Chain A
Amino acid sequence: MRFDTPVFRPMGDRSLLVEIGEKISADVNRRVQELMLRLQQANLPGVRELAPSYRSLLVVFDPLTIAPEKLKAAITDVAARPGGSELPQAKLITVPVFYGGDYGPDLEWVAGHLGISTEEVIWLHTETVYRVYMIGFTPGYPYMGELPAALAVPRRSTPRTRVPKGSVGMAQRQTGIYPVESPGGWQIIGWTPIELFDPKRQMPSLLEMGDRVKFESVRQVGI
């Protein structure tokens, strides 16, 4: 699952994809986070951006400041330093969700597909504490996992062109929240009023990689 040493895949002449493992796992993802923090501290010349994801870190750099081969060597060196880095304290955020109805137009379909009741879907979705694996797709969009195996569903066969802001979606073993209206292919089971992204804040994203999220069902008092 996890590679012994990072695997480098160049993405053009100005970025390197540094792969830590092959599959989605919390262990691999923590390693990605750790490498990002180490590189942040190392402050290598010419590095412009560190973009972590499930199992890799994209390092964007200026090739006229640091040659790709030199950067690879420097990253390998930083990754191999002994001792674990202190990962920052993960936040635990509770997200209130209105499940079903107009808020979650795919809840019925999901329940039908899984052969369970909508109440069971809600119960399963709210029972787990999820890890934020990465923020991507649109600003502030958290990719969270893993959903209980009993909740694994495929993406919608036809993606929606407009998914409302605040929609809570799921696909395969992942769940996420749409911070702005956007196209989207995940099954929408609910909606939250929580603000995930505010560019005016110093830390614009409510969530970051490594945070923990728990969903909470809001009892609907009429609509």
Chain B
Amino acid sequence: MAGVNTFEVLSPGIMSSVQDLGRFGYARYGVAASGALDGFAVRVGNLLVGNDENAAVVETTLMGLRIKLLRDAVVAVTGGDLQVRKGSEPLPMWRSQLVREGETIVFSGPARGFRSYLAVAGGIQVAAVLGSRSTNLASGFGGFEGRALRKGDILAAEPVKDFMRYADRAFSPEAVPTYSAPWRLRIVWGPQDDQFSEEGRQTFVTAAFSVSPDSDRTGIRLRGPLVARKPGLEESIISEGILSGAIQVPGDGQPIIILGETASGGYRKIATVISADLPLLGQITPGDEVSFEAVSMDAAVQALLEMEDKIETFKRSL
């Protein structure tokens, strides 16, 4: 189906790309999931504009994305509050609204959180590659021409009949996640927590770490006290599969929270962020403070159920 030209990128800002909820089933060929880092925001944004939860959206980081509408369209902005405006007036977040041809959407800079998502009725139209519309930045495929967005790019959306019926729908403000530092992330121990010293484990759950500026879509690099492995162990381990949320500790004892661009790794993982807190990882900003709280597997699954309940309740309200 032919898409309709909908967005013109006037400026891509710091870093913007086309993403959906990720690419699964190809990890055995070294293909990481990629995908939007705040999946909750994407699901809500897509539902607001009448899309499938997994439709492709624009993910933008920090500030500077400016998009001109090439036709009337219903859009929703969710995720981190990057002070999005329509022309000179604020554009309310977590609700769908009509934006007219010729109007401009501008992400001026962070008030809260790190990444915003722009969903459009019909979904951004790019070819699915290996089952997903997400951009694999390292290998240059998927998304829009396999790369981050640039000035002058024209994004098409699937045409939707009577799209006006999706305008002015809102996500309940109480259900909007709190995106603010200091972040307290819930983890379950493992897979290799037994290879850290007791002191290293204690440090991990009691220290406040700060987020290093060299964090990106591959990982959130933390700085803080040394998280020590057991004496006598080598710095690295035999490479093995990995997924987002796993917290690896290289030889320097400074943890890295793995995000969606890595399929395998050769360092020990002391703990893994629970599924319900994964969307928050997309909103953690360099300079923020991060600490960890260990929970049981049951508590982790319970928290995920609660998150899914929020989505289900919202779906029923539409």
Contact = CB atoms under 8 A, between A and B. Distances in A.
A-B complex is real: yes
Interface of A: 9-15, 17, 23-24, 36, 48-58, 60, 63-64, 67-68, 134-141, 143, 179-180, 182, 197, 199-200, 204-205, 208-209
Interface string B1-41: 00000000000000000000000111111111000000000
Contacts of A139: 26, 29-32, 136, 138-139, 263
Given A17-B191, A134-B264, 15 more contacts: A11-B246, A11-B272, A13-B304, A17-B241, A50-B28, A52-B241, A53-B241, A54-B240, A55-B238, A57-B241, A63-B301, A68-B297, A136-B30, A139-B136, A140-B30
Interface in B253-269: 263-264, 269
Contacts of B141: 199
B130 A137 contact: no
Interface in B287-318: 297, 300-301, 304-305, 308
Interface in B159-188: 188
A54 B191 CA distance: 16
B304 A53 contact: no
B145 to A, nearest CB: 12
Given A58-B243, A139-B139, A199-B142, A24 B297 contact: no
Contacts of B31: 139, 204
A13 B243 contact: no
Nearest to A52: B28
A208 B241 CA distance: 15
15 contacts: A11-B190, A12-B243, A12-B245, A12-B272, A51-B263, A58-B241, A60-B24, A135-B29, A136-B239, A138-B139, A139-B26, A139-B136, A140-B139, A199-B141, A208-B29
B136 A12 contact: no
A12 B188 contact: yes
Contacts of A52: 28, 241
B286 to A, nearest CB: 20
B111 interface: no
A41 B139 CA distance: 30
A12 B301 CA distance: 10
A200 B140 CA distance: 12
Contact of A11 (B130, B243, B301): B243
Interface string B213-249: 0000000000000000000000000111111011000
A181 B138 CA distance: 8
Contact of A134 (B239, B269, B297): B239
A48 B27 CA distance: 10
Interface-central residue, A11, A24, A54, A205, by most chain B CB under 10 Å: A11
The 7 A-B pairs with the shortest beta carbon distances in the complex, nearest first, are A58-B241, A136-B264, A12-B272, A51-B241, A9-B191, A51-B27, A205-B29
A63 B304 contact: yes
Interface in B185-207: 188, 190-192
A180 to B, nearest CB: 5
Nearest to A155: B236
A9 B29 CA distance: 22
A57 B297 CA distance: 20
Interface-central residue, A12, A50, A54, A140, by most chain B CB under 10 Å: A12
Nearest to B236: A155
Given A54-B239, A136-B264, A13 B138 contact: no
B28 A9 contact: no
Contacts of A50: 27-28
Interface in B101-141: 129-130, 136, 138-141
A115 B283 CA distance: 51
A134 B31 CA distance: 12
A130 to B, nearest CB: 16
Contacts of A9: 190-192
Contacts of B29: 135, 139-140, 197, 204-205, 208
Contacts of B142: 199
Interface-central residue, A55, A135, A179, by most chain B CB under 10 Å: A135
